[in-house]
Amino acid sequence: MMGERAGTSPSGGSWALVTGSTSGIGRATAVGLAQDGYSVIVTGRDRDRAAETRRSVESAGGRAIDLIADLGDPASVRKLVEQVREAVDGPLDVLVHNAGGGGFAPTESTPEDMFDAAFNLHAKAPFILTGAFAPAMAERGRGAIINVGSLSTSMAAAGTAAFQASKAALSMMTKSWTAEYGPRGVRINSVDPGFILTPVNEGIRDMYGTYLASLPAGRGGDAEEIAHVIRFLVSPKASYVNGATLTVDGGKNAVVVM
């Protein structure tokens, strides 16, 4: 069947792992995938917020477990792999690399640990998790991996070189993993959000008022709007979408503000 070949129809206790799912886009995605029939692994650094997301999934009629991990620490990522393998009772068919963050500074004053943190979080953690779980997806002939990137992969801003380079690395992995796992039934795609009004960004909304008004959409996006796109890419409706990047930015990348 097409859904089975695409690897995105939940059945028999299929699981989805959403990194950075303790708030914002990750939480909205976790709840949405549960509504689509997946059991969800919630993970993030904050135990209380992870529990809140788990309860949100359960309130929506879904099933979830919460596992605490720091995706910026490779040792914690490897521990998460073992925890997932021990905790779930079915196949992991969906992997959403959503965890993100990091600081910004001019190149000459960027501390080495800030550079390393960006690449650990945005590149190394997805690399470890994909290496751990994609082979089993390929053996089953089904699976979906979504990389949550950034407009930083297509346009630059001063003082953000480490962050943008790490997100560009994740974008390139979308293409590499498509070549590697696509022929065996695993679909890998990217979603590049624009300015999304997550809890992290709410505090600086006023600073970007003029910028947001200049967008064709005239506003910032909501976490649920990104989650809807992720859910589409996971679903059988996107069965022929592989190696693609969907920009969800209210028109920013398409229009030059005059």
Going 154 to 156 to 161 to 162, the CA torsion angle's sign is negative
Please state the pTM of the whole predicted model: 0.91
From the number of C-beta atoms within 10 Å of its C-beta (0-12, 13-18, 19+), residue 206 rates as exposed
Going 103 to 108 to 111 to 115, the CA torsion angle's sign is positive
Closest CA to 137 of 12, 14, 38: 14
Total domains, the chain: 1
Which pLDDT tens digit goes with each residue over 170-191? 999 999 999 999 999 999 999 9
Q: Is residue 255 part of a domain?
A: no
Going 15 to 187 to 150 to 224, the CA torsion angle's sign is negative
CA–CA dist 129, 94 (Å, integer): 11
Q: Is residue 258 part of a domain?
A: no
Contact call for residues 143 and 186 (beta carbons, < 8 A): yes
Which pLDDT tens digit goes with each residue over 200-254? 665 555 656 777 888 888 888 999 999 999 999 999 999 999 999 999 998 888 8
Q: Is residue 215 part of a domain?
A: yes
Q: Is residue 179 part of a domain?
A: yes
Domain enclosing residue 35, as ranges: 2-250
Coil vs helix vs strand at 56:
helix
